[in-house]
Amino acid sequence: MKPKILLIYTGGTIGMIKDPETGVLRAFDFDNLLIKIPELKLLACDIETVSFKEPIDSSNMNPSYWVQIAEIIEKHYQSFDGFVILHGSDTMSYTASALSFMLENLTKPVVFTGSQLPIGDLRTDAKENLITSIQVASLQKRDKPVIKEVGLYFEYKLYRANRTTKINAEHFEAFSSPNYQDLVESGVHLRVNEEFLWKPNSRRKLKVHKHMDDNIVLIKLFPGINISTIECMLNRPNLKGAILETYGAGNCTTERWFIDALKKAISKGVHIINVTQCSGGSVLMGQYETSTQLKKIGVISGEDMTTEAAICKLMYMLGSKISDTDFKSVYETPLRGEMS
Ligand code: ASP
């Protein structure tokens, strides 16, 4: 039996084709995918496609589209062996991170991919990304999928999705996973780094979480950020959580007004998470005097999570109504391999 792969097209550059006469980019007709990309027929799997009614540029992505993707996977979960999601690269790390939290007990591959150049372009990176993503999603060992998590495939590498970040707007190598090893490398052969794959408990049933609470803010520190900016963000009505992007290993100013503003928000029940602005490495509160106060007032450590994963984990946990008493310890626990 050949593996069955569902290809879900949400939008983005990958699905565009340039009119050879006018040079204008227009949406590619995914219903005729196998005719347009005959190479796909050579793959050892059966492919079916489903598309968003109105494909979007991923800069327009939001949690209601995340729910749409989760529902497509939920609906087809039993009848397909793997899922490949075509998505614009701009916010792909956010959507892929969100899906990793929304799909609890996932035991099948969900591979996000996209491209820097449209699929109809002569020098496109779309074909390689698409074909290898399908191959990766089709990998099986003793009739079971090899990949059992949400991944992101781009330019010869499969990464754990919730460890990725978009690092380049121009290079074909547009993503990186600074704090976690690559899951699969594509050369002459596909090299699977088995020891780094997520190994879920396969007896548990897939549970799809559809409530992502967006009552959060992202505060990126910079020298010169002042009390009115911080208070304006922390006094936003109905605020439930804040991601604080700090310096280095989780450091911030020791000025009293800053710590007092955070303390006041925490006392009102706002969960504050500390992640670093650095692209690699981890928050380690208490290492310097400039982070000791944060630890004391109950700021949660985001450790080595990307900002993308930290935001999605916060929305997911707020949406799942985790109690205030458990919130800090659950947030500081890896749920889907998003932190070390
Ligand atoms: N703006 C596009 C998007 O994210 C870029 C891309 O597809 O890579 O939808």
- pLDDT at position 18 is 76
Percentage of the chain lying above the pLDDT 90 cut: 85
Q: What is the pLDDT of residue 67?
A: 98
Q: How far is CA 282 from the centre of its chain?
A: 18
Q: What is the pLDDT of residue 130?
A: 95
Supply the pLDDT for residue 295: 94
Ranges of CATH 3.40.50.40 domains, the chain: 216-331
Backbone phi, psi, residue 195, to 5°: -65, -15
90, 166, 171, 308, best to mutate for ligand 1 pocket (most atoms within 8 Å of CB): 90
3-state helix, strand, coil in the chain (%, to 5): 35, 20, 45
**Rounded alpha-carbon distances, angstroms, from residue 46 to 80, 81, 252, 257:** 10, 10, 52, 60
Q: Which residues contact 190 (CB under 8 A, 6 or more apart)?
A: 132, 135, 136, 139, 184
State the fold for domain 216-331. Answer: Rossmann fold (3.40.50)
Residue 340 has pLDDT above 80, yes or no: yes
CA 235, 236, 240, 242 torsion-angle sign: negative
Stated pTM of the model: 0.96
User: Average pLDDT of the chain?
Assistant: 94
pLDDT band of residue 120 (cuts 50, 70, 90) is: confident
- Strands (DSSP E) found in 182-325: 184-186, 190-192, 207-208, 216-220, 241-246, 271-276, 300-301
Q: Look up 276 and say whether it is catalytic.
A: no
- The pLDDT, as a whole number, for residue 64 is 98
pLDDT of res. 17: 75
* Nearest one of 41, 51, 50 to 2, comparing CA atoms: 41
Q: Side chain identity at 327, as an amino acid letter?
A: F
pLDDT at 1 over 90: no
**What pLDDT does residue 312 have?**
98
Q: Is the distance from the beta carbon of residue 171 to the nearest atom of ligand 1 less than 6 Å?
A: no
Query: What is the fold, at CATH topology level, of the domain defined by 4-208?
Result: Rossmann fold (3.40.50)
Question: Is pLDDT of 318 > 90?
Answer: yes
- Nearest ligand 1 atom to the CA of 89 is 8
Give pLDDT, residue 195. 98
Going by CA atoms, what residue is nearest to atom 3 of ligand 1?
Answer: 88
Tens of pLDDT, residues 8-40: 999 988 887 777 788 877 777 777 677 778 888
pLDDT above 80: residue 322? yes
- For residues 281 and 312, is the Cβ–Cβ distance under 8 A? no
Q: What pLDDT was estimated at residue 275?
A: 98
Cβ neighbours of residue 34 closer than 8 Å, sequence gap 6 or more: 40, 41, 47
In short, whether 168's Cβ falls inside 6 Å of ligand 1 is: no
pLDDT band at 112 (very low <50, low <70, confident <90, very high): very high
A 10 A CB-CB count for 290 gives: 17
Residues in the chain: 340
For residues 192-220, average pLDDT: 96
DSSP state of 87: -
Ligand 1 mutation pick, 9, 10, 13, max ligand atoms within 8 A of CB = 13
Instruction: For CATH 3.40.50.1170, list the domain ranges present in the chain.
Output: 4-208
